[in-house]
Structure 1
């Protein structure tokens, strides 16, 4: 329960971190998108206002004669122009006719025009003039303004001159930002709603992805648990047998020489079983360290296969199994590898084949080659392996037939060691099996073209292996 809670909390943290990071990224993207839209529309709005103001400016400036005085011709250009008195409050505000034009530009109650003399006094207005717009003159070219109702406007200020190049005053052309703000509000709303929907989708995706990310970790944890339980079970069996033997010996009042020898032989067998298990575990641990480089030398596979077949002929004969070798190459097959590990690799396969082959049948070891690899096949005519178990036979402590494997003293590490050795030599292993007809293990080991002059350690390994089996 504690482990499940830990994994659940870890998954929640992963999903939360992913959602927060993606939320920040999307928020930055949404803000950048909004700013880009805002900037693009401001530029377009400025260009529109500047175009309208430039057209009006060029049209009216050619007709101005006296500074601060609108000529009668201005009334023809601006049919809805309103002259203002001394103060801004005397300026008469009229609603424009949407069908009337200012130099071909439809007002539509969105544009206003204001004229100021050189002293900054408001002279006249035209078009749509907002209520409560500040009448105090500001000479800045571009301005954002608000009227008494809080509505936004954007205006440009241009200087006017008379026909003889005297300063006449100023003209301000402004536009209502109501449509512009409505559009930006729509963009904001869409962005916020889109962000919320995206966050919901991200939360769901992050929970799913965190579950996928946790699967290898959870599987590794389960494998560690299973490995620990299997090791404990394998160690407990010989320890329990040794303890029971010693305990029964202590209960005996007298022990003769023959009984003593039997007890010592039992303890020796269990001790050998423990030693073999520890050696196998240490070998797997060393093979798992990818950073640890193998001590490689020139290994002749012809010699290794011939020596192992000769070594296990007695074991095969005792089991009623015929063990033969078939070397289908004329020249020696040499590879760069570790002879100790190669001996262990093929001996594990041969021992397994003998143990799982019924009396009267045959085990064959074949050696051949192609242009790139040395190929070794260990074929038996034994009980075979079910198809659904072929992918699991290389797992540590896994047994296809538990009862028989127990009786032969196996720990379930043999094929795991085989696979680890093959991988350490950059090779591959393949299994083909059929129930009741036998199995074939095919190993491909790549050649190394670089020659190396070194002495085999095969004979030394054989001596050690024979002594360990006595």
Structure 2
């Protein structure tokens, strides 16, 4: 069932339920109010009768009572023993259906009787006749509520007609309302179908600013499309760059392999040069492949192998390895002799190596590592004095496949994934990573790890 049909059906059913409830309330209030008015009128009539017959000779009472008869009614006076003393009526079958009753207090009764195979509502009131503070009899007046039956039928007909009109209007109104509500959703569905068929991302055309949840949903969809387009552009750029990166070493490997195949190993110098070049380019391909695998692993695996890590010892080990390999000046600054925390050692080591590797690639001067802590967090800083990063590029530096200078990145072997991987690992540790940089003066990358998830000791 379509959503528009559901909305239409639900609004109609709910409107019908409300109208039925209101109709029932109106009907019962009308009936109660009308009967109360009739009762009050008859009680007033009874008071008038008692005032008129008070002190009147007995032979004149019957004639006086006839003057108060209405259509299809009776008036009777009942003695304390329950016998009827006087009775006047213009509808004997009706009067015979009602048995007289002596009462000592005012009483009103509404009941249904069957007369000539027809059900009729009647109203009966009984008023005690007092003389010298003693009840001498009861004045009983009975009246058919034929006018009430007619008014009730008219009311039911009006309520039924209004309900029918309201239901019809609700159906058309619900259809109109559901079309308004579903318009942006229908646009979104059509846009999605177009994307599915053509494979080309496109946005929803928002024609009217409704400022509601549906417009918010449409804008969210458009922002998602923007993000997908950006990611696709970045991935397309990455595929292009990666293809170029792989093509160069593969071409070199193939050229030297063909050279060895043609000339063999007779020329020792040439053979050593070819082997060295093939090894170098194969290592380069291996590093790129490892980077891709690291990224895929982080995307699919959210778990960490937590263990107790001596941060100072870990950074000293990394410092020693990189100084020996790159012959660069790397300084480590810390206070105390031990700084222990709970972390995934291999992943934390990977983050520090990524930061140091970037510093080595894009600077020629010294590199500094700072380890410190405060009451809330442990802080790791890597600072270089290299070429720096333009201010407008800093907010994008952690994006996947993003590279500031693509030509320079090819020269240094960058893939645009290192900082993205580093940030993801830090986030897995519930931490944060930030970078500050100025062109020509260098960059500083800071890692913040919260103390509530760390066990730290300092000698």
Q: TM-score normalised to the size of structure 1?
A: 0.63
Moved more, 293-302 or 27-36: 27-36
Partner of 2:355 in structure 1? 349
After superposition, what is the alpha-carbon deviation per residue over 1:317-366, rounded to whole angstroms, capped at 9, x for unaligned?
46xxx432221x22522110111111110111111122222x4x442211
- Mapped to 1, the partners of 2:234 and 2:422 lie a distance apart of 18
Is residue 72–residue 144 contact of structure 2 (8 Å, CA) maintained in 1?
Answer: no
SS at match of 2:449: strand
Local SS of the residue matching 1:286: helix
- C-alpha separation between the residues in 2 aligned to 1:424 and 1:332? 24
**Equivalent residue in structure 2 for 1:250, among 258, 280, 293:** 258
Superposition CA RMSD, Å: 4.3
1:253 and 1:139, CA in 2 relative to 1: closer, same or farther beyond 3 A?
same
Distance 1:21 1:279 in 2: 54
| Deviation string, structure 1 residues 216-262 (Cα, Å, up to 9, x no partner) | 65456546645653564455335423543355343774243333333
In the TM superposition, what are the counterparts of 1:7-406 in structure 2 within 5 Å? 22-56=7-41, 58=43, 117-118=93-94, 138-139=118-119, 157-158=121-122, 160=124, 170-172=144-146, 173-174=148-149, 175=151, 176-177=154-155, 195=174, 198-204=177-183, 206=185, 208-215=215-222, 218=225, 221-222=228-229, 225-226=232-233, 229=236, 232-233=239-240, 235-245=242-252, 247-248=254-255, 249-250=257-258, 253-255=262-264, 256-289=267-300, 292-314=302-324, 317=327, 322-327=329-334, 329-357=335-363, 359=364, 361-406=365-410
| Ranges in structure 2 where 5+ consecutive residues have no aligned partner | 51-61, 74-89, 98-114, 127-136, 188-214
When you count helix as a share of all residues, which structure comes out higher? 2
CA distance in 2, matches of 1:43, 1:259: 111
Would you say how many aligned residue pairs link Structure 1 and Structure 2? 365
Aligned residue runs from structure 1 range 432-447, under 5 A = 432-447=436-451
Q: For residue 118 of structure 1, report the CA deviation from its aligned partner.
A: 3.5
Q: Structure 1 residues 197 and 72, CA, compared in 2 at 3 Å: closer, same or farther?
A: farther
Deviation at 1:307?
2.4
The answer to whether the 8 Å contact 2:341/2:455 transfers is no
- 8 Å CA contact 2:11, 2:170 repeated in 1: no
1:287–1:424 Cα contact (<8 Å) kept: no
Partner in structure 2 of residue 457 of structure 1: none
Q: Relative to 1, partners in 2 of residues 1:167 and 1:365: Cα closer, same or farther, differing over 3 Å?
A: same
Q: Contact 1:238–1:271 at 8 Å: present in 2 too?
A: no
Q: Distance in 2 between matches of 1:287 and 1:451?
A: 24
How many angstroms does 1:136 deviate by? 7.7
Q: Indicate the SS of the match to 2:263.
A: coil
Pick the structure with greater CA Rg: 2
- In the aligned structure 1, how far is the partner of 2:287 from the partner of 2:63? 115
Give the CA deviation at 1:268.
2.8
How far residue 428 of structure 1 moved from its aligned partner, in angstroms, is: 0.8
Cα distance change on mapping 1:269 and 1:61 into 2, 3 Å: farther
User: Which of 370-379 and 179-188 deviates more?
Assistant: 179-188
Distance 2:92 2:269 in 1: 131
Rounded to whole Å, the distance in 1 between the matches of 2:356 and 2:254 is: 37
Higher alpha-carbon deviation: 202-211 or 189-198:
189-198
3-state SS, counterpart of residue 422 of structure 1: helix
Deviates more, 1:209-218 or 1:391-400: 209-218
Over 3 Å counting, the alpha-carbon distance change for 1:24 and 1:365 in structure 2 is: farther
Task: Please name the residue that 2:412 is paired with.
Answer: 408
**TM-fit CA distance, 1:119:** 10
SS at match of 2:380: strand
Counterpart Cα distance in 2 of 1:434 and 1:449: 33
Residues 260 and 399 (structure 1), Cα distance of their counterparts in 2 relative to 1, 3 Å cut: same
Alpha-carbon distance in 2 for matches of 1:257, 1:226? 47
